[in-house]
Chain A
Amino acid sequence: MKVKLKVWRQKSRNTPGEFRTYESPGLNENMSFLEMLDVVNEDIANRGEDPIAFDHDCREGICGTCSCVINGKPHGPHKGVATCQTYMRSFRDGDTIVVEPWRAAAFPIIKDLVVDRSAFDRIQHAGGFISVRTGAAPDANSIPVSKENSDLAMDAAQCIGCGACVAACKNASAMLFVAAKVSHLGLLPQGQPERYKRVKAMVAQMDTEGFGSCTVTGSCEAVCPKEISLDFIARMNRDYGLALLKGEPKKIAGGVAG
């Protein structure tokens, strides 16, 4: 099979970009989408031109590096998979495929299809952790966790931090990402002491980074390669509301109240 690619090319953050069209060489339908890009890039390089920059690493749907909007949809046509797990048999011979980077003010373009997602890291620096020093942990079985809560925490923890939720959202909101992180830790007994402080700090950083607001359209859930549920956003909103109501803990001698 052969396809025509309409790809966003942009040399660097501050130079204007444009769509350019490339004809693929002969392809095999069992190729992954990224392998197709490899083949097209070899062709481009052999012509002495600059290959298309795209992000990728594990190519098995877990590192969260790959990040293409394919025909208008982050991670392409299928539900519950990343770009790297999308195969050419999902397209037809002769198709024109439009390939764009994630588009969000908080994810500036580095080159072509590669964007800077360090905003996600900074949100987690602000509070995405349980404070436990190495060596300070009690025996693992001394903290029982109900299987229901543990499984639900795991559902949230599956987030691979790819940013498709932001790319799909008309407001470029990062709520699904932050909600997954907040819920994962907030559902576990180990996460309780910092639960309300955490949600406030992470939401504040999310706002600082310039992500938009959530209007619950659900487009994030629809494109999430790990199918993280919108329910977690409701859970985060509740924790955030409670955290605001509780206010800042009042400092008293020898400890904190509230």
Chain B
Amino acid sequence: MATLNSNIPAGPLASKWESYKFNTKLINPANKRKYKIIVVGAGLAGSSASATLAELGYEVHNFVFHDSPRRAHSVAAQGGINAAKNYQNDGDSVHRLFYDTIKGGDFRAREANVHRLAEVSVNIIDQCAAQGVPFAREYGGLLDNRSFGGAQVSRTFYARGQTGQQLLLGAYSALNKMIGAGAVKSYTHSEMLDLVVVEGHAKGIVVRNLQTGAITKHNADAVVLATGGYGNVYNLSTYARGANVTASWRAYKRGACFGNPCYTQIHPTCIPVSGDYQSKLTLMSESLRNDGRVWAPKKKEDCKKAPKDIEEGDRDYYLERMYSAFGNLAPRDIASRAAKTVCDEGRGVGETGLGVYLDFSAAIERLGEGKVRERYGNLFAMYHEITNEDAYKTPMRIYPAVHYTMGGLWVDYNLMSNVPGLFVLGEANFSDHGANRLGASALMQGLSDGYFVLPATISGYLASQNPGKRPATDKAEFKQAEENVEALTNQLLGNKGKRTPASFHKALGTLMWDYCGMARTKAGLERGIKLISELREEYWKNVMVSGEGNEWNQSLENAGRIGDFIELGELMCRDALHREESCGGHFREEYQYTPDDPETKQGIVNPGDVKRRDDAFAYVAGWEYAGSPAKAPILNKEPLVYEEVHMSTRSYK
């Protein structure tokens, strides 16, 4: 059994981070250069961490599977980044951002981590502005803000509809500066395929060069994974096609616990699926909900009518009806589930019946088309590009899609996994968003972890390791990991199967969406586990990989990643099955408020809202690999202790 000690520092919540930093061991500047740190991934977390660690004087080696660090999927975030600057004087504060995040996460995140995130948020904006990130500004030259995804204050900073790209270009420029200075060695088109653990500590990785197929070993004093989320387990998602779980999964198989894998975020405003050839779903920024009104026809027979032919009185603005205080800005999990409910009732629109309207006619009347174009022009253009429809004239059609994973490798307050020396940042870790992430908080967490948290916490670990004594790559553990990777590659290439990796991915995605999607049940999850384990067995017998190992081979790359996704899918179902409660993005149909519950009668919640069971499930589930994919994993628990906030029923009414 692994030990999951959160290592939360003692003392009052608001001063934990300050006192932690004072009490952490430092490393003297002359010794820093003797420590080598491997960072895998170069999105917001990976780039910012690599640059900052190099500035501090460590020897940094950065690995990405992309052709350039700038292509990591952080680039695609549209809406913005939160920070408790209170530049709008509307009552925001570190404490309010902390509280909103804890509540938004449905009381399943760690208080101390979230408070630190809120504290550090203000430094992120300063750092990015100084790097030249072109945030939106007011005419006076100061920074503009908007309210975003369920927040009642305007704390979101943004750069048109491409905040992610601009923040990533900022972090990438910091990384470039250090690469140019020779302080970071950058390995592109390099995919991590195994973690090397020596005497219980993470001391290196094994990498495949995607251009040449060469497999190489790399040693280090510490390994940092900033490899993103695993939403592509569903095949169809808003993730980039290349996004994968492989680095995290291989670390899991080397002993790192996987935290809360079933917590996935389904984003409410995506363009609906149009056919089975589809490779990805496109997200429309949540900022659209600031001015768009979500509705569905009241009557089933109206669903096939053109929206303009449906009378105002026959439209159900269901979010405004059900959640009067938050209305169209209700948090993502709630808005997504409400859309599903409406469609399940047969009131969905569009060809497939899986869609609802997002209507801007009221906003255009109130603000004029020019203003709406100024705010959302690029999103309307994107919608037009994909659907061939003009959203200025007719409402958009939207449906929820997989967008983010709150779960990830388990880490303590230091962002270190239960394998000493292995640190995990950004979406790849489980730590800050509980069971549901608020809008504009992913960018904040990635940069918080990379710029400010890890650079402060890693010294505590490194101080326990003798400088210049990292194990050499000729050690047996390195050789064993290298052989493991070679064997896997040869097995995939040598398999004379009949089915392409992509067809398995589609099959897995369908199973995951059906049994471990927006609404889950005991029977469904049990069936999901059975079918996915059968799919896994078929995979290794029947997958067909073309080409050779010593060349650019996308079929081989995908095959490795999809094999890992299949195993992960099974773990997600197991986690969802064991968590006999509903919380945030995890909705078990058996655990929801009914009209007879006192909370419903008091008007705090609606029937059908998620019902948590704090008495039994106020903990982080950290799953430990049992040595073989066919063996049931071991469940470890980290209890969630709330010192500051009372765990209340989440209400957005």
Task: Please list the residues of chain A having a beta carbon within 8 angstroms of any beta carbon in chain B.
Answer: 11-12, 27-28, 30-32, 34-35, 38-39, 42, 45-46, 48-51, 53, 55-65, 81, 85, 87, 89, 110-111, 114, 116-118, 120-121, 124-141, 143-147, 150, 153-154, 157-158, 160-161, 184-185, 188, 190-191
Contact = CB atoms under 8 A, between A and B. Distances in A.
Nearest to B173: A129
A10 to B, nearest CB: 11
Nearest to A150: B137
Given A30-B274, A111-B552, A38 B502 contact: yes
Interface string B125-152: 1111111101111111111000000000
B71 A65 contact: yes
26 contacts: A11-B551, A28-B275, A35-B279, A45-B555, A51-B546, A53-B552, A53-B554, A57-B66, A58-B76, A63-B75, A111-B551, A121-B68, A121-B69, A121-B186, A130-B130, A130-B131, A130-B173, A134-B52, A134-B174, A136-B130, A137-B130, A139-B126, A140-B125, A140-B128, A147-B141, A157-B159
Contacts of A42: 500, 502-503
Interface residues of B, number: 79
Contacts of A114: 552
Contacts of A38: 277, 279, 502
Interface stretch (B176-184, B191-199, B214-222, B437-445): B176-184
Contacts of A118: 67-68, 188
B134 A150 contact: yes
B382 interface: yes
A48 B85 CA distance: 58
Interface string B210-254: 010000000000000000000000000000111000000000000
A106 to B, nearest CB: 14
Contacts of A45: 500, 544, 546, 555
Nearest to B56: A134
B540 to A, nearest CB: 18
Contact of A134 (B76, B127, B188, B382): B127
B87 interface: yes
A203 to B, nearest CB: 15
B551 A12 contact: yes
A129 B134 contact: no
B48 interface: yes
B160 interface: yes
A130 B388 CA distance: 41
Contact of B176 (A85, A89, A121, A141): A121
A65 B546 contact: no
B18 interface: no
Nearest to B551: A12
B165 A62 contact: yes
A207 B262 CA distance: 51
B145 to A, nearest CB: 11
Contacts of B61: none
Interface string B153-179: 000000110101110010011101101
B279 A32 contact: yes
A70 B174 CA distance: 35
